[in-house]
Structure formats: C-alpha cells, structure tokens
Amino acid sequence: MTDLGRRIGELFSQGAGANKDDARTAFFELQRGLNEGAIRSAEPDPSAPSGWRVNAWVKQGILLGFRFGDVVDCSADHGKWPFYDKDTMPLKKPGAMSGVRIVPGGSTIRDGAFVARSVVCMPPMYINIGAYVGEGSLVDSHALVGSCAQVGARVHLSAGAQIGGVIEPVGALPVIIEDDVLVGGNTGIYEGAVIKTRAVIAAGTVLTGSTPVYDLVNGVIIRPEPGQPLVVPAGAVVVPGARAVTVGAGKDWGLSLATPVIVKYRDDKTDTRTELETWIR
C-alpha cells in the first residue's frame, strides 16, 4: 500500500473524529490520482479468481471526501438551476485538449473520475467519482457509470445502460466491464458483476452479482462462487431469457422468471454487426 493509502486508512479509522484538514488534504491528493487514472478503485490482478482486486483504501478516501466536505451552492446558469453538493465533489472539466467529447445536452462527470482520450459522452449521461472509462469508449444517452465502476477500452454503453456503482462496503468489488464489450440499451449490470473482454450483453438484460447465467453453448449454469462475483465469460453473447417456475402456485399459474442466457460466443459475424458504433466517432 502507498503512503497515501496508509494515511487514508488511519484517517478513515478515526471516523468523525479525524482531523478535517488532514482528511481533506488526503482526499484531494486521491482525487488527483483518480482523475489521472494513476489510482484506481479496482485493478486487474491475474491471481484473483475474477481477474480483479479491490483497492479498499481508495473507497475509504472517497468516503472521507463526502464526510469532510461542506455543502455549498453549486447552482448552474446564474442560479436558474439550483444545486447543492459537497465542495469536495465538483464537476469534472476535462477541457478541449483532453480529447474527450462531451456532446451538449446535460451530461455530468464528477471530479475524481478518469475518462480517457477519445471517449464520447452522449447527452444526458452521468459518470460518478471513482469510475474509470477507457480509451475509445462510448457512453450513450441516459447511461450511468456508477461510483468506482471500471469500464475498459472501446466499450459501447448503449442508451439507458446502467452500470451500478459501489462505495460501501469498501471491500466490495465494483462492476467491471472489460475491453471491447458491447452493453445493449436498457441493460442493468449491478453488484460487482464482471463482464470479460469482447462479451455482448443484449438489450434489456439484467445481471447482478448473484444472478445465475444459463450457458446453452456449453450446457452449464454459471453461478458466482461463495464470496466471489458473477463472471460472464469472454466473448459470451448474453440475451434476456426466461425459465419456468416448477414449484408451488407458480407452476399452476404458468409463471416464468427472467434469466440471462448465453446463446453463442462472439465471432466475426457478431463483430460485423457491432461495428456500426465506429461510424459515430
């Protein structure tokens, strides 16, 4: 752990009794590192079962920013849009030289989120503190990248996609979307689910940390191991499906439950169909 990590851990353990100036100083140092992408709330780790490890001290630092921030007036358009938030959590202003496109229309990125060059943000969308969005990715209209969520390079988050965030508990893995993933419209990915590289999540699919995924190709049910997140395999094409209720009144009533299903693994034909996103860059 870095010196900053140790300082944050000590301050966090002191709770509300921590020195406010020291806590704010440590938070702002963390915030700069998050903005640069030099510090991440979760990092690739080949030795971990999911391929990722959590940096709990980063989340502790973000919580210090909330705890020791002062609520201030941050209204927009000369006060016509009233907003009030912690002074430690301003909006990010990447600047034209950053290479990030933020199309006009009501999008917001919180300071302390990393947004790489050539990312496109279509309005309105939101990226929260601690999040990481890799180079060449698209965050489409009404999409959310929650706090500490990790989104790789060349990812397409379609309109209405919800990538859940997590700050507490500090040891919980955030949602991970690896490189070259396509996330369809009105999709929800929550509770630290890990989507491996080149997977395709079809429109309307909902995945959580405890959701079983039915792999028709390999004839297996993918379930998270105890204490581990759900991991969707690389290249999997996941669509919303249903399975019949076989017990109790549900069977008599002919009910079924929504469930995600892997119907194939990504191939050249799938790649051709998803290539259209490059035309809007």
Domain ranges of the chain: 82-280
Does the pLDDT of residue 50 top 80, yes or no? yes
CA–CA distance from 11 to each of 22, 26, 39, 68, 180 (Å)? Answer: 8, 9, 18, 11, 38
| pLDDT tens digits, 92-124 | 999 999 999 999 998 999 999 999 999 999 999
Q: What is the mean pLDDT of the chain?
A: 93
Token pair 């490189």 in the structure block, residue: 179
The neighbour count for residue 95, using CB atoms within 10 Å, is 8
Q: Beta strand pairing status for 200-201 and 236-244?
A: parallel
Task: Dig out the tokens for 224 from the structure.
Answer: 């998270």
Read off the pLDDT band of 274 (50, 70, 90): low
Residues 133 and 99 sit within 8 Å (Cβ to Cβ): no
Read off the pLDDT band of 258 (50, 70, 90): very high
Q: What is the 3-state secondary structure (H, E, C) of 68-124?
A: CCCEEECCECCCCECCEEECCCCECCCCHHHCCEECCCCCEEECCCEECCCCEECCC
- Tabulate helix, strand, coil % of the chain (nearest 5): 25, 25, 50
CA distance 49 to 44: 11
CATH architecture of 82-280: 3 Solenoid (2.160)
**What's the predicted TM-score (pTM) here?**
0.93
Report pLDDT for 279: 52
